[in-house]
Amino acid sequence: MGRSVYYITTPIYYPSDNLHIGHAYTTVAADALARYHRLKGEAVWFVTGTDEHGMKIKKRAEEAGVSPQAFVDQIVAFIRDPLWKRLGISYDDFIRTTEPRHYRVVQHLFTRLQEQGDIYKGTYEGWYCLPDETFWPESKLVNGNCPDCGRPVERVRQESYFFRLSRYQERMRRYILDHPEFIQPVSRRNEMLGFLEGGLEDLSISRTGLGWGIPVPGDPEHVIYVWFDALANYLTAAGYLSDPERFARTWPANLHLVGKEIVRFHTIIWPIMLMALDLPLPERVFGHGWLLIGETKMSKSRGNAVDPLALIDRYGVDAVRYYLLREVPFGADGSYTEEALILRTNVDLANDLGNLLHRTVAMVQRFADGIVPAPGSGPRPLAEACAEATRAWEAAMDRLNLSDALSAANGLVRVANRFIEDEQPWALARRDRDRLGTVLHDLAETLRVLSVLLTPFLLEAPGRLRAQLGLDAPVSAMGEAAFGTTLVGRTVRPGPPLFPRIDPAAEGAPPAPTSDEAALDIADFRRVDLRVATVRAASVVEGADRLLRLTVFDGERERTIVSGIRAHYRPEELIGRQVVLVANLKPAVLRGIRSEGMLLAGSAGGELALVTVDRPLPDGAKVQ
Ligand code: MSP
């Protein structure tokens, strides 16, 4: 027998409409976790699929004027390709409840539970919520509507088979109390314990007159209730009945990932089905929050659904996956906005990560002939930062806190960008080649480590990042996150920006809101006294490798300015140049020299250039 398998599932979705980014959210999260466990070298069984029976589907097919099977076939085909394909969902099995392998399982379960007295025939009288495919007793309705979604319910009275939930109520409550890990996050666990307090009624698990579903064995007038049918998918996809050996390795599931509105089905009805069958219960059920539009849940029926493919077309798959998993702490509700997606991509990916790569590769190119040097002397803060970020990242992944994991990776990017500012490799290039080797190497190595941490989340960027570092193979194991020296001697290959900045205006999206505090009044700006001045003298400041001492004439007098531009200009090349001076800055003493103002300069990616005027102007001319 092989080793045991990490079995992770998403809900199986109703193919009643095209899916939206709410469905993509769960599926991308499960995909990232599946990829993470594969990286750790575990055998993974990652399953998603479609829940194709039920009244809702039947009605939608009637509206479309096609048979239910033809209706779902076409939507399911679309979900598999292009939807999940373009989102990079790496499922191992896609289960459809209309498949023969699943019919067999569901009918088998039904018969067995019936034989042992857990299923009996009676009459159901109560209410049904069509969009949720849920039965409700009168006592649970809220203002006559579905207590879950608030939509109207319809009266149902018919002969029905019942599943004896009530018999297992106390065992279920004990189980939840004894297994604190079973329902997560803890708020959902408390909700479920509260629900159990109210007592469990036996569940109606068949319908007559529907004609679309799995027939009750021996009583084909009845079809099996869509939730009983759907939950069993987790057994079918693990090989129950069809492949006992695989089933033994795969069951119980390690993680059912679901939206919070279906936690009750997964933590009360489903485990009771399993208890009745004498099968072990899933290790954990995680109920994540909803993507909201404004204050309401995104959903097709509310008409506010966002199409994932349209977003991918606009922003690329990595930006969409990153945004979904980074923006909202996994478990909480969060509002979706396109502006936030753009901002996230621009800040974290284009700016922080993209610049780090660009600067590092450009400096290796420029200062080390394009070859990653061996580390030389001096402290190695990035080695520790990588180890620390990897630890935090793994701990967050294991807690399913995907946004924290991404935030650990982004934190490392920021540390590395700061390291460039602190070490000033362009200055080291002139005076300390040994230290330069350490700095360039450790920056490249940090990027390589980042490519590992980003691999479960992003599909394209890790490979493109590695290509620029001279690596052709994709990340294949978690162990590669160890900080080492594998890059030494590699030739970097500068490439296009990893994430081009998105221009919100060009995308037709409203510009990112600026807070009133951040926005500058014109009067505030005018308080800055900017003037044209000419450099009359320049010299190095002894003992300070970044500083030049300048004498500039501002039209009225000469001033001394100490400026951190030594790595970019030789003193003699500045003499006679016109520059822009901030004339009303409070004087500061730098290295014992009183500096009376500041020169404006632009900087990016380790480059720096002084701001100057387009044609000569009298010294003292105002800049505005
Ligand atoms: N078919 C049932 C599930 C059966 S599982 C045995 C079902 N299907 S569904 O198509 O309605 O999908 C619901 C799931 O989609 C949610 O539990 C969640 O995983 C995901 N989401 C749908 N809309 C969502 C949001 N607006 N926000 C977050 N997740 C959302 O229920």
In a domain, 525, yes or no: yes
Any domain includes 8: no
Domain endpoint, select from 436, 466, 481: 481
Long-range contacts of 245-252 (CB under 8 A, 24+ apart): 245/1, 248/1, 249/1, 249/2, 249/3, 249/4, 249/5, 249/43, 250/4, 250/5, 250/7, 250/45, 251/7, 251/279, 251/280, 252/7, 252/279, 252/280, 252/281, 252/282, 252/283
- Answer yes or no: is 34 within a domain: no
Q: Is 12 in the pocket of ligand 1 (CB under 6 A)?
A: yes
Q: Are residues 463 and 587 in the same domain?
A: no
Ligand 1 neighbourhood includes 409 CB (under 6 angstroms)? no
Kindly state whether residue 575 falls inside one of the protein's structural domains: yes
Q: Please report the pLDDT score of residue 509 as a whole number.
A: 54
H or E stretch including 120? strand 119-129
Record the tokens describing residue 486, joined without a space: 């594998």
For residues 450 and 532, state if they share a domain.
no
Same domain, yes or no: 363 and 476: yes
Residue 545 has a pLDDT of 79
Looking at ligand 1, which residue's alpha carbon is closest to its atom 15?
A: 23
Q: Are residues 369 and 466 in the same domain?
A: yes
The protein residue with its alpha carbon nearest to ligand 1, atom 13, reads 13
CATH (domain of 357): 1.10.730.10
* Alpha-helical runs (H) found in 480-526: 522-526
Tokens for 217? 């064995």
Residue 11 C-alpha to ligand 1 middle, in angstroms?
6
- String of b and e for 46-73 (b: at least 16 CB within 10 Å)? bbbbbbbbbbbbbebbeeeeeebeebbb
pLDDT of residue 605: 60
Question: Which pairs from 136-139 meet CB under 8 Å and 24+ separation?
Answer: 137/201
Atom of ligand 1 nearest to the CA of 261: 17
- Closest listed residue to residue 7, CA positions, set 116, 110, 91: 91
- Which ligand 1 atom sits nearest the alpha carbon of residue 27? 19
Query: Residue 103's pLDDT is what?
Result: 98
For the CA of 26, the closest atom of ligand 1 is 19
Assign residue 552 the CATH number of its domain. 2.40.50.140
- Per-residue three-class SS string for 170-185: HHHHHHHHHCCCCEEC
Residues of the chain with pLDDT under 70: 1-3, 507-520, 605-606
Same structural domain, 471 and 569: no
The answer to whether residues 474 and 521 belong to one domain is no
Find the angle CA(155)-CA(159)-CA(164) to the nearest 5 degrees: 95
What is the sign, positive or negative, of the torsion defined by CA atoms of 142, 147, 149, 153? negative
Residues 360 and 470 both lie in one domain: yes
Dihedrals phi, psi of 594, to nearest 5 degrees: -80, 120
Q: What are phi and psi of 253, to 5 degrees?
A: -60, 145
**Closest Cα to atom 19 of ligand 1:** 259
pLDDT for 517 equals 44
Domain around 347: 339-481
What distances in angstroms separate CA 557 from CA 6, 214, 528, 536, 538, one per listed residue?
A: 75, 93, 19, 11, 16
Q: 150: which DSSP letter?
A: -
* Cα of 262 from ligand 1 centre, angstroms: 8
Contact in structure between 453 and 409 (CB atoms under 8 Å)? yes
Report yes or no on 137 lying in a domain.
no
Quote the pLDDT of residue 299.
Answer: 85
Amino acid at 327: E
Helix H, strand E, coil C: the string for 208-249 is ECCCCCCEECCEEEEEECHHHHHHCHHHHCCCCCCCHHHHHH
Q: How far apart are CA 280 and CA 298, in angstroms?
A: 34
| Measured distance CA(603)–CA(580) in Å, rounded | 15
**Domains held by the chain: number:** 2
Nearest to 583 by CA among 623, 539, 524: 623
445 and 361 both lie in a single domain? yes
End residue of a domain, out of 436, 455, 481: 481
Helix (H) or strand (E) holding 199: none
| Residue 417 Cα to ligand 1 middle (Å) | 40
Retrieve residue 583's tokens: 């004339």
| Residue 25 maps to a domain | no
Same domain, 468 and 528: no
d(CA 147, CA 376): 66
Is 291 close to ligand 1, i.e. is its CB under 6 Å away? Answer: yes
Handedness of CA 386, 387, 391, 397 (dihedral sign): positive
- Does residue 509 form part of some domain? no
Whole-Å CA distances, 188 to 254, 257, 456? 18, 13, 27
Q: Is 458 in the same domain as 580?
A: no
Classify residue 203: in a domain, yes or no: no
Per-residue pLDDT, 515: 43
- Verify that 477 and 531 share a domain, yes or no: no
Find, among 4, 10, 14, the residue nearest to 31 by Cα.
10
Q: Which atom of ligand 1 is nearest to the CA of 297?
A: 26
CB atoms within 10 A of CB 389: 26
Half-sphere exposure for 4 (CA within 13 Å, toward CB): 8
Residues 351, 440, single domain; the answer is yes
Q: Which ligand 1 atom minimizes the distance to the CA of 16?
A: 10
- Residue 288 tokens read as 């994540």
Last residue of one domain, picked from the residues 481, 500, 533: 481
